[in-house]
Amino acid sequence: MASDAPRKVLVPIADGTEPMEAVITIDILRRSGADVTVASVSSGLQVDASWGLRLVADVLVSDCAGSTFDLGGMPGSTNLRDCEALESLVRKHVSEGRVYAAICAAPAVAFGSWGLLKGLQATCYPSFMEKMPTDATAVELRVVQDGRCVTSRGPGTTMEFALELVEQLYGKEKADEVAGPMVMCSQPANLTVKELNSVSWTSNKTPQILVPIANGSEEMEATMIIDILHRAKAKVVVASVGEKLEIVASRKVKIVADMLLEEAAKLEYDLIVLPGGIGGAQEFASSEKLINLLKKQAESRKPYGAICASPALVLEPHGLLKVKEWIRITRQLVSEAKESFDNQLKIQKLKDTIFFVNEQLTKAKKSGAFSNLITDKINLGEMQVMFRKDYNGVHIEVMAVEDYTFLNSSYVSVLR
């Protein structure tokens, strides 16, 4: 179904919806250019998703009865199954031969109970595999595409799930184009973490963590940070850096904060984490209250972090990355490593130099010759001792240069 024309996509949400599954799917589909409608199956537009997040839909699902969509996607929630308006809409959608998709519990709980997996291979959340209908073939894969139906397993497979939907709508080239800027790991099981200046992050109590959000924040990053920290049993405070609790993120997902930053600033935090998004990061950087909170956190030697645009736009301009100290430490480590390497090679290089100089002197074939020998500071003393005046009848002057990166792998001597 490859096409550059905007495709219409319906993503229903309900109380209890898995926020990562909903937000990541919406975000990635909108990155592809799809026209995504977020529809609430509840009585109002705002829904209480899992893990303490509150999302705001664009419309009620009942308002979509007369609309046609190219794709219907369902994040995990048993509440979706019980919505008659949604069931009617999806059945009509499938009967017209359009793409439909579900993730987590929804393939088994909703699609299975509606008879939409008959004769198909499908997957779902591991603990719901036994609830898959007997007329479908349960497959333990991260993402399964069978005909017009796409299913997936849970929050950790949502990016792959959403990119498969992009491919179904626009083709593989578009899916690859969308995936690139997201800096996805090509092999999810092979993650690399670089930790410098290791410190202990242990806490003897439930940690309280501040996650500020603003208009233009990256919704995927904010949602994953909040969701995962809640799963870890942390007390997460989502604070709006603005005048309203509701913010509109970079891909137009609407998230409702717990409180305004002005109120949140009265509390103490074990950790402050900034999501990215250029617009959101700019809002953070211009918030004196947030910057003061971060500086207080740094002065108290408490951890803080940032992702995407926020390290460069928020932390660095306000001296919260300690760049000069990092540079000093890096230069020191490089210097120590280089000195160790030079010391290991010193003996061999001295041997190479003696051979090379003797060879050059032999070629000179004249007494009273004068030679300059260029070396580095580390080997200067040894060279001066080794090549005293009138070495084999030739006067040798040994000199050291501070920058010898232009030299070849051995030392260079020039006869004159």
CA distance 408 to 329: 28
CB 322 within 8 A of CB 298: no
Average pLDDT in the chain: 84
CA 404 to chain centre: 40
In the β-sheet with 54-56, what is the strand arrangement from edge to edge?
Answer: 46-48, 54-56, 254-256, 246-248
Whole-prediction pTM = 0.76
User: Vertex 282, ends 259 and 225: CA angle to 5°?
Assistant: 50
| Structure tokens given for 416 | 């004159």
Please classify residue 29 by burial: count the beta carbons closer than 10 Å to its beta carbon, then call 0-12 exposed, 13-18 middle and 19+ buried.
Answer: buried
Q: Return the percentage of the chain with pLDDT > 70, whole number.
A: 74
The predicted structure's pLDDT at residue 393: 61
Write the pLDDT tens digit of every residue in 37-79: 999 999 999 999 999 999 999 999 999 988 899 888 777 567 8
Q: Give me the mean pLDDT over the 277-302 stretch.
A: 96
From 64, 83, 104, 308, the catalytic residue: 104
What pLDDT is recorded for position 339? 61
**Residue 104 is a catalytic residue:** yes
Provide CB contacts within 8 A for 386, sequence distance 6+.
350, 353, 354
Round to whole Å and give the CA distance between 55 and 47. Answer: 6
Q: Work out the average pLDDT over 155-161.
A: 96
Phi, psi of 353 (to 5 degrees): -70, -45
Q: How far apart are CA 193 and CA 200, in angstroms?
A: 16
How are the residues of the chain apportioned to helix, strand and coil, as percentages rounded to the nearest 5? 40, 20, 40
Q: 198-241, pLDDT tens digit by residue?
A: 777 777 889 999 999 999 999 999 999 999 999 999 999 999 99
Q: What is the pLDDT of residue 335?
A: 62
Total length of the chain: 416
Q: Alpha carbon of 69 to those of 83, 257, 342: distances in Å?
A: 18, 30, 67
- Can you give the pLDDT at residue 413? 40
pLDDT at 148 over 50: yes
pLDDT in tens, 317-328: 999 987 544 445
Place of tokens 């409608």: 37
Q: Residue 312 carries which DSSP code?
A: I
Q: What is the pLDDT of residues 32-42, one digit of tens each?
A: 999 999 999 99
Location of structure tokens 């024309």: 5
The encoded tokens of residue 126 equal 């591991």
pLDDT at 18 over 90: yes
More confident residue, 403 or 84: 84
Q: What is the pLDDT of residue 361?
A: 52
Token pair belonging to 299: 């002065």
Within 10 angstroms of residue 325's Cβ, the number of other Cβ atoms is 10
Instruction: Please give the Cα distance from 243 to 258 (Å, whole number).
Output: 13
Query: For the chain, what is the largest distance between any 2 Cα atoms, rounded to a whole number of angstroms?
Result: 105
Cα dihedral 353, 354, 356, 357 in deg (nearest 10): 110
| Rounded Cα distance, 330 and 322, in Å | 12
Q: Interior CA angle at 26 toward 25 and 32, to 5°?
A: 90
Give DSSP secondary structure letters for 202-264.
Answer: --SSPPEEEEEE-TT--HHHHHHHHHHHHHTT-EEEEEESSSSSEEE-TTS-EEE-SEEHHHH
* CB < 8 Å & 24+ apart, contacts of 58-65: 61/12, 61/85, 61/86, 61/89, 63/39, 64/10, 64/37, 64/39, 64/89, 65/89
β partners of residue 54: 48, 256
pLDDT class of 351 with cuts at 50, 70, 90? low
d(CA 130, CA 82): 20
- The least confident of 133-147, 315-329, 374-388 is 374-388
Residue pair 278/313 in contact (Cβ under 8 Å)? The answer is: yes
